[in-house]
Amino acid sequence: MLANLIFTLAISFPIFLNCQSKFIKLDGSSTVFLVSEAVAEEFGKVQKDVKVTVGISGTGGGFQKFCAGEIDINNASRPIKKVEMEACNSKGVQYIELPVAYDAISIIVNKKNTWLEEITLENLKKIWQPQSQQTVKLWSDLNPAWPKEELKLFGAGVDSGTFDFFTEVVVGKSGSSRSDYNSSEDDNVIVQGVAREIYSLGYVGLAYYEQNKDKLKVVPLRLSEDELIMPNRQNVLNGTYKFLSRPLFIYVNVSALKKPHVKDFIDFYLKNAPKLADEVGYIRLSDELYSLARKRVENVVVGSVFEGEGYKGGKKLEDLYASLTPQNNP
Amino acid sequence: MRFGNKTATRRELIFYALCLIVTSFALTALLITVGAIVASGALKLNLDFLLGFPSRKAEQAGILPALLGSAYIIFLVAVVSVPIGVLSALFFEEYLRNGPIKKMLDINLKTLAGVPSIVYGLIGLQIFVRTFDLGRSILAGALTISLLILPVVVIASREAIRQVPGSFREASYALGATKFDTIWRIVIPFSLPGIITGSILALSRAIGEAAPLICLGALTYVAFIPDGLFSPFTTLPIQAFNWISRPQPEFHQNAAGAILILIILLLIVNSLGILIRLKLQKRLNLG
């Protein structure tokens, strides 16, 4: 009886080797995953014989695999770092860097918060910098007119690209943040926390605010006397919400790009990214930027325009990508 | 109230109440969890969801690749870890002499059973994916999970083997049976129900693991059915984890649906184990 059962299971299990099929392997950031997944899904409807897989091992984890030549495309929520460039160079992996969408961070507070109508970057720094852990504990520590209640903070977990970017822009040093806040890699947890606590403040990706508009209040950014910027699609696209928005990238292995089905996929990606990026909750780039990206693919322009430096808010990407000369081409 | 054959003392009553409260806490928590999952996931239990492929649109997304990925992994893990685990346990209990070597192996084994699963993920990545060059395949995933539950299988099997009364062995030897005969005809049959229970518990743990597989490079978006040992794959916990972290509430429902199906898969595996055990016990007339 037992032997029978095992036997039946064994023969019904398809133990044969893979038949030759065309694979495209993507991995990397969980943020960019949403765009790449959407593109992969649509691409699968057009080219049924190509199998596209997308993993989530984080931008850094993805680059490790990418530079070891294990994957074709890396999803990256930040530009490639110096050490990663060296790793790729030493393995002879050449890559093309393509921006595909913007992600924006929105500052959120509880619906019942009546005092915070806008916030400046200085105030955000005052809240989030490490030394404020001792000095900014109550809302009234920021402004005497505000409630004498404990400021309950919610933010991104230290392993996320959102955390790196937010601290870089707000505190001035990537990874530098006070640590006495509720952190989560999952933005939904931050949304729930802020929706529950009246005296809370947090930051999440724009899509998470948009999906929970009924539960949260968003705080616009005060840049100067006459610049009060709401985090929304239009302001990200026209560059006014530049400080808390960041580009998302894919990095394509040049030798993989020589395969026709990978090239097809990249062409398809850049063509459909505007629509799909919007659909999954990010913001499309300008048409100009997409066509500059297409040119980089056509001319096989290798390297990163950031040359190992991080993305600092406020630079116009169109200018960076205008030049088609290869960077650090070995 | 009476406990045993004496009237309960005050202390006993308090202890009884404490046990009852703690148990009902645990059960209530379990009920609430399952209730919440059923409430939000039950709607998802339809064929479209079961036979669908992942999608960025929550209402179109299905779990077929993840479900089959999980099923294949469980099957392979059982095939790999149970025989190795049982043989190691037999070696430990029947062949290895008491002494420093046994003691050292024993400590190692128990430590291994407590190693966090992510560590096995890293080992699997280095050994199976890179050194053996199996790639991020079902095979590499199954071997890693097998490694993870192997100590548990060994410990449970050893426990079951030790439960076989010494008098049975002695009777066997007295009748002139060799050591091999004794193990094959006495020890294994009589410890098998216990071994199966232990293995099923270990396999249940394997079904729920996501961390080592993610670390290994199991994928999240796989829109095709794994078609062999070297195929890329995803599993139910990974799919659920991915859906739960998305902004749209519809995806959270999908996650609940995936978890519900994971629980059903778990129940199927468990009841299969119980059935086999009952059958064996009946044959041994122990039941």
Task: Divide the 330 residues of chain A into consecutive groups of 10 and give the mean pLDDT of each group.
Answer: 50 44 88 92 91 88 91 92 93 95 94 93 92 91 92 87 86 88 86 93 91 92 90 87 90 94 96 94 92 93 87 78 68
Tokens of A209: 């605010």
Residue A270 sits in the same domain as residue A233: no
Q: Are A270 and A290 in contact (CB under 8 A)?
A: yes
The alpha helices in chain A, defined as continuous H runs, are: 2-12, 30-46, 58-67, 82-90, 121-128, 132-135, 161-170, 187-196, 206-211, 233-237, 254-257, 260-280, 287-298, 317-322
Which of B137, B221, B243, B274 should be substituted to probe chain A, the one whose Cβ sees the most A Cβ atoms within 10 Å?
B221
Residue A139 sits in the same domain as residue A220: yes
Q: Is residue A117 part of a domain?
A: yes
Q: Which of A237, A271, A305 is a domain's end point?
A: A237
Residue A211 sits in the same domain as residue A282: no
Nearest CA-CA distance, residue B102 and chain A, Å: 33
Q: Is residue A8 part of a domain?
A: no
User: Is ipTM beyond 0.90?
Assistant: no
CB contact under 8 A, B227 and A187: no
B58 touches chain A (CB under 8 A): no
| Domain tally, chain A | 2
Q: Are A188 and A180 in contact (CB under 8 A)?
A: no
Residue A136 sits in the same domain as residue A194: yes
Length of chain A: 330
Name chain A contacts of B222, Cβ cutoff 8 Å. 53
Nearest CA-CA distance, residue A109 and chain B, Å: 17
d(CA A54, CA A28): 8
Read off the CATH number of the domain in which A72 is found: 3.40.190.10
Residue A233 sits in the same domain as residue A192: yes
Which H helix or E strand runs over B275? helix B249-284
Length of chain B: 287
Which of A56, A74, A208, A216 should be substituted to probe chain B, the one whose Cβ sees the most B Cβ atoms within 10 Å?
A56
Which H helix or E strand runs over A201? strand A200-205
pLDDT at position B104, please? 92
Nearest CA-CA distance, residue A167 and chain B, Å: 22
Q: For B105-118, b where at least 16 C-beta lie within 10 A, e where not — what string?
A: eeeebeebbeeebe
B231 touches chain A (CB under 8 A): yes
CB contact under 8 A, B56 and A34: yes
Indicate the pTM of the whole model: 0.80
d(CA B123, CA B251): 32
Q: Are B210 and B241 in contact (CB under 8 A)?
A: yes
What stretches in chain B show pLDDT beneath 50? 287
Name chain B contacts of A52, Cβ cutoff 8 Å. 221, 223
Give the domain extent around A136: 104-237
Q: Which residue has the tokens 């055990």?
A: B277
Q: Is residue A298 part of a domain?
A: yes
d(CA B24, CA B108): 36
Q: Is residue A250 part of a domain?
A: yes
CB contact under 8 A, B217 and A41: no
Q: Is residue A77 part of a domain?
A: yes
Residue A80 sits in the same domain as residue A108: no
Q: Are B233 and B222 in contact (CB under 8 A)?
A: yes
From the list B222, B244, B249, the residue facing A53 with the nearest CB is B222
Q: Which of A185, A217, A237 is a domain's end point?
A: A237
From the list B55, B231, B247, the residue facing A207 with the nearest CB is B247
Nearest CA-CA distance, residue B251 and chain A, Å: 12
From the list A15, A53, A208, the residue facing B232 with the nearest CB is A53
Interface of B with A in 8-47 (CB under 8 A): none
CB contact under 8 A, B247 and A188: yes
d(CA B198, CA B195): 5
Q: Is residue A11 part of a domain?
A: no
pLDDT at position B4, please? 59
Residue A205 sits in the same domain as residue A274: no
Name chain A contacts of B279, Cβ cutoff 8 Å. 1-2
Residue A48 sits in the same domain as residue A156: no
pLDDT at position A226, please? 87
Q: Is residue A329 part of a domain?
A: no
Name chain A contacts of B227, Cβ cutoff 8 Å. 14, 16, 18-19
Cα–Cα distances in angstroms (integers) from residue A19 to residues A40, B33, B51, B224, in the given order: 21, 42, 23, 13
d(CA B258, CA B7): 50
A 10 A CB-CB count for A227 gives: 10
Residue A263 sits in the same domain as residue A301: yes
Residue A110 sits in the same domain as residue A214: yes
Residue A113 sits in the same domain as residue A93: no
Nearest CA-CA distance, residue B211 and chain A, Å: 11
CB contact under 8 A, A5 and B276: yes
Residue A287 sits in the same domain as residue A316: yes
CB contact under 8 A, A37 and B220: yes
Cα–Cα distances in angstroms (integers) from residue A98 to residues A220, A269, B89, in the given order: 30, 10, 55
Q: Which of A237, A257, A273 is a domain's end point?
A: A237
Q: Is residue A296 part of a domain?
A: yes
